[in-house]
């Protein structure tokens, strides 16, 4: 590849097949520096230790020349603390880089796009995040646009941006209102406010804390083409249990980029992003709030339901 290859952080857990798919997708790019973070096995969960060991072995034997740095947890921290801690560890070492969870399949051109965006906006503190996915399509000639929404299905950022991250969402309740902007409609505001409340009381999430930081301090870049897909749906998924109605295909980013004329959020495309990518989840959350209005109670009931479903599948097999 004839472009700078940023360091890559791979976030994994107990899915060897997904990790192997990601490794195969990385082969054409062969990143020179790879950070691998794997959460520890859960206590009392059959096969977790074996599966975590398989994932670590795959990451320890990447099939291209590289420098590997690892953060392999002995104990299970859970999705929120494990991922947030791993990203903090990564940016403690690197000034910028790419973050990929184990269920992400990137197009090779994603890395060229990320490399150019990281370099172009390195010193521009208005820009906080670079996404790989696009559910909204494009408008106009530019090859990317600016948004108030982030996607974590393949993304990149800088240490200077991650420094704004707060796992406990300090500032959410008594800080500036980040939700009243053009393009952030009432349903999006309600959905995000509920999610920010969940993050503020430590309920198993890390990504909405990052969404808050980006919305408070700057903007996200969204490509006009879809440069990554996720395979993380179903019973083994970390958080996504159902397959979304619309799943865009992988597309290639052209080598010569057409840049937007200004650094400002595109409100119309933000409305489309919410409609295509977040609105189904928002609708489910809206229904749930009438039944279970407390984020803490909702989280507890969700854990019980997932445990019951998992137990039922094991007994039926």
Cβ(15)–Cβ(55) below 8 Å: yes
Tell me, what DSSP letter sits at residue 101?
E
pLDDT digits (tens, 9 = 90+) for 61-97: 999 999 999 999 999 999 999 999 999 999 999 999 9
SS3 of residue 113 by DSSP: helix
Residue whose C-alpha is closest to residue 278's, from 200, 184, 206 = 184
pLDDT at residue 186, rounded to an integer:
86
Q: Tell me the mean pLDDT in the region 7-32.
A: 97
Q: How far is residue 30 CA from its own chain's centroid?
A: 21
Cβ(155)–Cβ(132) below 8 Å: yes
pLDDT digits (tens, 9 = 90+) for 100-117: 999 999 999 999 999 999
Torsion of CA 38, 40, 42, 47, to 10 degrees: 70
Q: How many CB atoms lie within 10 A of CB 239?
A: 10
pLDDT digits (tens, 9 = 90+) for 134-162: 988 887 899 999 999 999 999 999 999 99
All domains in the chain, ordered by first residue: 8-316 (3.90.550.10)
Cβ(43)–Cβ(76) below 8 Å: yes
Distances (CA, A) of 128 to 35, 87, 177, 248, 294: 21, 15, 18, 24, 31
């Amino acid at each position: 590849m004839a472009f700078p290859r940023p360091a890559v952080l791979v976030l994994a857990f107990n899915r060897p097949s997904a990790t192997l798919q990601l490794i195969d997708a990385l082969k054409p790019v062969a990143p020179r520096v790879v950070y691998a973070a794997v959460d520890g096995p859960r206590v009392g969960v059959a096969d977790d230790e074996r599966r975590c060991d398989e994932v670590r072995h795959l990451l320890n034997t990447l099939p291209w020349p590289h420098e590997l740095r690892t953060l392999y947890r002995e104990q299970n921290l859970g999705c929120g603390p494990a991922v947030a801690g791993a990203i903090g560890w990564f940016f403690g070492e690197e000034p910028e880089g790419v973050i990929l969870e184990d269920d992400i399949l990137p197009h090779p051109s994603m890395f060229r796009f990320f490399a150019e965006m990281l370099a172009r906006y390195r010193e521009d503190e208005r820009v906080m995040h670079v996404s790989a996915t696009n559910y909204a399509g494009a408008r106009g000639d530019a090859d990317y646009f600016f948004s108030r929404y982030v996607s974590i299905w393949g993304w990149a950022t800088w240490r200077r941006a991650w420094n704004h991250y707060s796992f406990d969402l300090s500032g959410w309740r008594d800080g500036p209102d980040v939700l009243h902007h053009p393009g952030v409609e009432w349903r999006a505001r309600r959905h995000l406010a509920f999610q920010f409340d969940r993050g503020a009381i430590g309920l198993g999430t890390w990504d909405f804390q990052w969404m808050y930081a980006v919305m408070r301090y700057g903007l996200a870049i969204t490509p006009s083409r879809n440069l990554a897909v996720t395979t993380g749906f179903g019973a083994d998924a970390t958080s996504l249990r159902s397959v979304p109605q619309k799943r865009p295909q992988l597309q290639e980013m052209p080598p010569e980029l057409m840049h937007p004329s200004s650094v400002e959020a595109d409100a119309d495309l933000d409305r489309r992003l919410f409609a295509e990518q977040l609105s189904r989840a928002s609708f489910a959350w809206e229904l749930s709030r009438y039944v279970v209005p407390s984020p803490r109670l909702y989280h507890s009931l969700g854990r019980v339901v997932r445990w019951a479903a998992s137990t039922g599948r094991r007994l039926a097999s």
